[in-house]
A and B are shown apart, each in its own frame.
Chain A
Amino acid sequence: MLIPILKDYHQQGYAPPPRYGLLPKFFPNCNMAVRKKVFEDVGLYSEEPIITGEEVDLCLRAYRGGWDLYYQPSARCDHEPRAGVAGVLKQWFRYGYYSAYFFKKHQREKCSLFVSTKFQTRLEDYRRIFARRRFPFRATVFLTLFSLVHLTLLLAALFLVFQAVAPAAALFALSAVPFALALPSFRRTVGLRRIPLYFFMTYLIYFSCVTGSLLGGIKNRMLYFYSGV
């Protein structure tokens, strides 16, 4: 659900405890075996009207119910990926839209802010830097380098509109920090020739996932921001 990255996602072995009691190492439902007793013990799949992300919920509940989780890469299956830009767009919209429900259900803190400083962000790279039990409204925000750069630039642009040049310049300078952090891995993985492809797809995914997550958040009455990349 959260990060559909399949390659080398896990190491063989028992799954560690969920981070912050919330982010589990989960297994995609595409290839997963569950003991029937688990369902008797912790209940069936959630019957909410969601069409993705039910496995994360199950893995977390199974872990909290005291069951072990194991990843066995030698049990392999080949999966047909989604074809075409439109399919990917739709899929990422769903990832954003339907994951809001999970955080509403399982997050104990009313507000939490996760930040990742990796270029290729995976679930285990997120660090929670802010969490409060008491907060005026329910909020879960995931920030990546990509979103940090763009948020600071957006703020700088806002200041410019109101002709406050000094804070705008400061923010503009500030946006160089996440940009500089991302630059080495960007140069390694993307390179010069594929920059158009990178920005085209990244903006598409970003746009669809953020739209999905914001809408999903509104549906679950919370502020939910998840950008995916």
Chain B
Amino acid sequence: MSLKSAAVGLIIRIRPRILLKPLESAYELALRSVIRSLRKLDRVAAVYVCGSLARSAVLPALSDIDLKIFLRGKRDPSITEHLLRRLRRLRRVFPMISVSEEIGIHFLENFLREHGHYPLLRHLFDLRFHPRKLVWGEDVLAGWDLSSSSQDEFFSSCLWRFKYWFEKLSCLYGTRAINRAQKRYLFYKAVADIGLIGLILDDPRYAFRGRDEVLRDIQSDLPETERALIDRLLRERKSLFTKGLFDLDQAFSLFKDLVSNCCRKMERDSGTEIVELPYEFRTDPIPPERELMEEIEKALGFEIKTAAMAPTYLATSPLDYETHSLPAYTLLPEQGLTCRQLDALRSLCRNGLKDRISLFVKENEHYVYSAYSHFMDHILEARFDAPLAFELLSPATNKDGRMLTFSAPSLRRLKTKLAHYVEQLEDIIGNREIFKMAPASYFKFFFSALSKLILSRSIRLNAFHLHTEPAAIAGYLVSNLSVSETFINRLAGHAADPKDSGTPPYEPDFGPSLEFLDCFYRVVLGRTSEDELARLSRAEAGAKSTVSVIIVTKSHAEQLARCLHSLAQLDRLPDEVLVVDNDSRDSTRETVLRFRGPFDVRYVHFSGFGIGKVRNAGIREARGDLLVFVDDDATVNKDWLRNLEREFLKNPHLGVCGGSIRNMPMDRRDLAYRYFSMMDLM
């Protein structure tokens, strides 16, 4: 044991006021600076603290500051980013501010809409579970009735809580990101939490108050076996930070016992059948090798530190340990992941590191709608809970894509989940981040969304159809909804043979397929007739865009001719070419009129000063949807226009696309040329 941890352990044990006082004031100061930083933002409505700080039971140097921030208006990734950036900056000074995982940023409008059918959220703000204290703003939660919830909702929250602890513990058990003392403390928290859930199934008075306090309170009333557990827990608690007595493996078995006890109890109370979760805990996880990490970082171009706290979107679930024999790592990138980075990560796992590493991101069909990016993880969090996933996937219930039997409570739960998912689909379709996904991930998402929609449609018709393969989904759509076969098979082809971005040429059908999904979603909700869906799929998949190339020129007749000739060599010819002549004094006009090529060249004369005015004259004359500007003294490559147009076809929100520019070779004796090549500026 190092000297430092011994010292910390000693301090915590003896708790000398004189040492702890400054630490406590540091918490106060941290909280004040957070508020000072956040209240400048107009949209922040309220800031709450949760956890130990709200209970005024801060353990200096161990507790962190858990914040819940409520923002006015609708969900907006940019403001979330902004907030997190501010908090990260503060975290440099005050390390106790938790940023990555525990922080909750909620948007009032979405929150109000969602919390009606989202029991978990209700429990998250249930006073009994999470003591909270308003530190700034108006008390937005005061008026809401959050405490009343049905038994069903309560159970599902408890299940979620189990899953949460399982994931967290399994991810953090093998990492070196936190030390043993921290791990022990984490286990203590987990065991106590799960134990308390078990207790409140009998008596709700004892929900998440202070752990020690409640445990001591109830110790005497418990049956023998559980009393022994709690006894041991309290005993170990004392030596938690100083001695290495707390055996992690034993702690985990204790934890498992508690979970199964709770499951039994829940089964007894509700009459529901809860499938035992076959969690297999890896006791020998291998920490990531440094070279491997470096390879990944190099390939992706961003920095990854090994997980300190596993964020939900990269946490490998214990469910995956069954299927993957390779070591699974949890990565925590410095600033969250964008879609593209996540896609890059995925393709890296698929290709470069295939036999060295298992998937980073869960792709199990039913279990996961984890985020495609951290912007989207809120809306994609419609997860199926674990027992349900088992039931869905077990061969007894799912034969040849048709579900034969299904227990009544599970069906109810499935319906709720599906309804929730379908409702969230609107958000997903409306989110423009989706256009930035790589085709492989996009079509994966597309077909899993279709399978959910088919499932909810068939449940309404009292038949269970669960298809997971794109080909099977296509078959179902063609036979039952008379969708155009060529259209859906083409999409299924994309999914089966995804060409990654960066290897042109490919023509992803993002736009038409998303329109199709949108239409199907409205069909499932009963807003549109099924004929509409068939008609849409038969319609030609997207019209071609028309391209105008605009060349602004002034007294560069020779270069202009060269430029026009290079345009004539393109493999995707422009629909029109406009030459805007700004008072040339040479033979520009004649050059343009003399030019004969495979496209029309129009000559526009403009006199006046200011490049903006000249370009605007060209824009007003242009007839295309896409305006491409090129200089008169440049020549273009053969695939230039195709590469530019492809990006616009892919993403309807793309406004401006730039291409690369290389300088033509010049006279080597030219001073300017030599200078710029020396400075590597060309």
Chain B contacts with A in 657-682, Cβ cutoff 8 A: 657-664, 666-667, 670-676, 678-682
Residues in B530-567 with C-beta less than 8 Å from chain A: 559
Out of A30, A69, A120, A197, which one reaches B680, CB within 8 Å? A120
Residue B622 is within 8 A (CB to CB) of chain A in the complex:
yes
Is the C-beta of B135 less than 8 angstroms from some C-beta in chain A? no
The reply to whether B670 and A83 form a contact with Cβ atoms under 8 Å apart is yes
A167 within 8 A of B: no
Given the complex, which residues of A lie within 8 Å of B659, measured CB to CB?
A: 27, 31-33, 71-77
Q: A47-B610, A76-B662, A83-B666 are in contact. Are A38 and B671 (CB under 8 A)?
A: no
Q: Which residue of B lies closest to A191 (CB)?
A: B678
B612 near A59 (CB under 8 angstroms)?
A: no
A105 within 8 A of B: no
Residues of B within 8 A of A45 (CB): 611-613, 615-616, 619
The residue from A46, A79, A189, A201 contacting B672, defined by CB atoms under 8 A apart: A201
Q: Give CA–CA (A78, B562) in the complex, Å.
A: 11
Q: Is the CB of A32 within 8 A of B670?
A: no
Nearest-neighbor residue (CB-CB) of A79 within chain B? B634
Most B-side CB within 10 Å, residue of A28, A30, A58, A189:
A30
Chain A residue contacts of B633, Cβ below 8 A: 79-80
Is the CB–CB distance between A36 and B624 below 8 Å? Answer: yes
B340-A14 in contact (CB<8A)? yes
Query: Does B640 contact A75, Cβ atoms closer than 8 Å?
Result: yes
- Assess the B636–A70 pair: CB atoms within 8 A: no
For the side of the interface on A, what is the size category? 35 or more
Q: Contact at B661–A197, with CB atoms within 8 Å?
A: no
B111 within 8 A of A: no
A26 to chain B, nearest CB (A): 8
With both chains docked as a complex, state the minimum distance between the C-beta of A97 and any C-beta of chain B, in angstroms.
13
- Given A31-B660, A77-B637, A80-B559, decide whether A49 and B679 contact each other with a Cβ distance below 8 A: no
**A52: interface (CB < 8 Å):** yes
With an 8 A cutoff between CB atoms, is B185 at the interface? no
- Say whether A32 contacts B671, CB under 8 Å: no
- Closest A residue by C-beta to B545: A35
Given known A-B contacts A75-B660, A78-B635, A85-B672, A68 and B654 have beta carbons under 8 A apart = yes
Contacting residues, chain B, for A32 (C-beta < 8 A): 628-629, 656-659
Q: Which residues of A contact B654 (CB under 8 A)?
A: 35, 67-70
Report B-chain residues with C-beta under 8 Å of the C-beta of A130. none
The reply to whether the CB of B630 lies closer than 8 angstroms to some CB of chain A is yes
Chain B residues whose C-beta falls within 8 Å of the C-beta of A59 in the assembled complex: 656
- Residues in B neighbouring A46, C-beta threshold 8 A: 612
The answer to whether A14 and B436 touch across the interface, beta carbons within 8 angstroms, is: yes
Interface string of A180-201 (1 = CB under 8 A from B): 0000000001100010011011
Q: Are A33 and B612 in contact (CB under 8 A)?
A: no
Once the chains are docked, how many angstroms separate the CA of A31 from the CA of B644?
Answer: 10
Complex formed: what's the CA distance from A87 to B666 in Å? 14
A150 to B415, CA, bound (A): 72
* Interface contact B671-A85, CB-CB below 8 Å: yes
As a 0/1 sequence over residues 5 to 46 of chain A, the CB contacts with chain B under 8 angstroms (1 = contact) are 111001111100100000000111111111111110100111
Interface residues in B328-342 by Cβ distance below 8 A to A read 340
Minimal beta-carbon separation of B246 from chain A (angstroms): 46
CB distance from A189 to the nearest CB of B (A): 6
- Any A CB within 8 A of the CB of B294: no
> Are B675 and A197 touching (Cβ within 8 A)?
yes
Residues on the A chain within 8 Å of B629, using CB: 29-34
Tell me if B143 is interfacial: C-beta within 8 Å of chain A: no
Contact: B661 with A77, CB < 8 Å? yes
- The complex places the Cα of A39 from the Cα of B625 at a distance, in Å, of 11
A-contacting 9-mer, from B51-59, B491-499, B645-653:
B645-653
Residue of B nearest to A17 (CB): B78
For the complex, is B643 an interface residue (Cβ under 8 Å from A)? Answer: yes
A136 within 8 A of B: no
Nearest opposing residue in chain A for B650, CB measure:
A70
Give B677's nearest chain A residue, CB to CB: A7
- A12 (CB) vs chain B CBs: closest residue: B502
Question: In the complex, what distance in Å separates the CA atom of A10 from the CA atom of B301?
Answer: 13
State which of A34, A48, A77 has its C-beta within 8 Å of the C-beta of B635: A77
Residue in A6, A87, A201 whose beta carbon sits within 8 Å of that of B663 in the complex:
A6
Instruction: Check B655 for interface membership: any CB of A closer than 8 A.
Output: yes
Q: How far is the CB of A184 from chain B (nearest CB, A)?
A: 15
Across the interface, do A44 and B616 meet the contact criterion of CB distance under 8 Å?
Answer: yes
User: Does A157 reach chain B (CB closer than 8 Å)?
Assistant: no
Indicate whether A52 sits within 8 Å of B655 (C-beta atoms), given known contacts A31-B660, A45-B616.
Answer: no
Closest 6 CB pairs of A and B: A27-B658, A67-B655, A75-B659, A45-B612, A73-B660, A201-B675
24 contacts between A and B (CB under 8 A): A6-B681, A7-B682, A30-B630, A34-B657, A35-B626, A36-B626, A46-B612, A47-B613, A62-B655, A67-B653, A67-B656, A69-B655, A71-B657, A74-B504, A75-B640, A76-B637, A77-B636, A77-B659, A83-B667, A83-B670, A190-B678, A194-B678, A197-B671, A198-B678
List 19 additional A-B contacts (Cβ < 8 Å) besides A78-B636, A78-B662, A194-B678. Answer: A30-B629, A33-B629, A36-B625, A36-B627, A44-B612, A58-B656, A59-B656, A70-B656, A71-B660, A73-B659, A74-B660, A75-B660, A76-B659, A77-B661, A79-B664, A80-B664, A81-B666, A85-B671, A197-B674
